[in-house]
Amino acid sequence: LVVGDVGDRALVDRVLRDHGVRAVVHLAAETHVDRSIAGPDAFLRTNVLGTATLLSAARAAGVARFVHMSTDEVYGELAPDAAPWREDAPLAPRSPYAASKAAADHLVGAWRETHGYAAMIVRCTNNYGPYQSPEKLIPLCISRALHNEPLPVYGDGRQVRTWLHVDDCCDALERVLDAGDPGAVYHVAGPDEVPNLAVVRAILAAAGRPESLIAHVTDRPGHDRRYALDASKIARELGVTPRRRLVDALPETVAWYVAHAAWREAALARLSAG
């Protein structure tokens, strides 16, 4: 493990060289939409400039396989009755975070067209599971439920997301790294489209807490109502089909956070400390 800044070219060069790196899975990113609205600069530095740095360094070091992790949010907002996005859908981000990730995707494409460096892009739906940052919806609500604190729900809570368990996400990334078509874009989507309010209610049920803890709060600016991805390409070409259903894996996730209280509290303390 090397702790450092993805935008530090000298450090990245040294790590790639000293460890003889042959493949890169680029997961380094600022990812929280609310924080991107409050302060976008860090998102531009890490997600855009950091991606450019890593692409340049990997190409210079002769790294043969490069997978860039992106997000469904680069497409913007999907209508309630619209078909899920395919990989060739136009990018139309609506938050600073999503815009920074879309810019990073365009950089990957630019390196392919300009330098012939055929990095791959994986766009996935919302992840959940063990060890997730407590600022994210599911671990945030789990922690608040376990402390008998209000669970904040933006607006009416009917924003729809497709939930992907981290185990399925990791399996997909490994498969793309091993066998993906150079320069290709792949979608990875969980099997369940669920409104946020339903997710929060399921967390409360799994934690044995009352729904009276739900607290509807003012919606954030530009909050996308729905995301959904067509993941038939990765299933067809690479045999990847995520299987963890939210109805089963969410109670397991709640149980994990209950069993790992020390980790959970330490993560919350780090988040509070900034």
> Is-contact 128 253, C-beta < 8 A?
yes
| pLDDT at site 75 | 98
- Residue 248, pLDDT score: 95
Measured CA to CA, the distance from residue 112 to residue 89 in angstroms comes to: 19
Per-residue pLDDT for the chain (274 aa), expressed as one digit of tens each? Answer: 999 999 999 999 999 999 999 999 999 999 999 999 999 999 999 999 999 999 999 999 999 999 999 999 999 999 999 999 999 999 999 999 999 999 999 999 999 999 999 999 999 999 999 999 999 999 999 999 999 999 999 999 999 999 999 999 999 999 999 999 999 999 999 999 999 999 999 999 999 999 999 999 999 998 999 999 999 999 999 999 999 999 999 999 999 999 999 999 999 898 888 7
User: Any idea which fold 9-273 has?
Assistant: Rossmann fold (3.40.50)
Length of the chain: 274
Given a contact cutoff of 8 angstroms between Cβ atoms, the answer to whether 90 and 77 are in contact is: no
Residues 6+ apart with CB under 8 A from 117: 55, 58, 59, 66, 111
Tell me the catalytic residues.
Answer: 72-73, 97
Angle between helices 137-146 and 261-273 (to 10 degrees): 110
- Complete DSSP assignment for the chain: -----TT-HHHHHHHHHHTT--EEEE------HHHHHH-THHHIIIIIIHHHHHHHHHHHTT--EEEEEEEGGGG----TTSPPBPTTSPP---SHHHHHHHHHHHHHHHHHHHH----EEEEE-EEESTT--TTSHHHHHHHHHHTT--EEEETTS--EEEEEEHHHHHHHHHHHHHHPPTT-EEEE--SEEEEHHHHHHHHHHHHT--GGGEEEEPPPTT--SB--B--HHHHHHH-------HHHHHHHHHHHHHHTHHHHHHHHHHHHH-
pLDDT at 271: 85
Given this model, what pLDDT does residue 272 score?
A: 82
Give the pLDDT score at 193: 96
Residue 114 CA, distance from chain mean position: 27
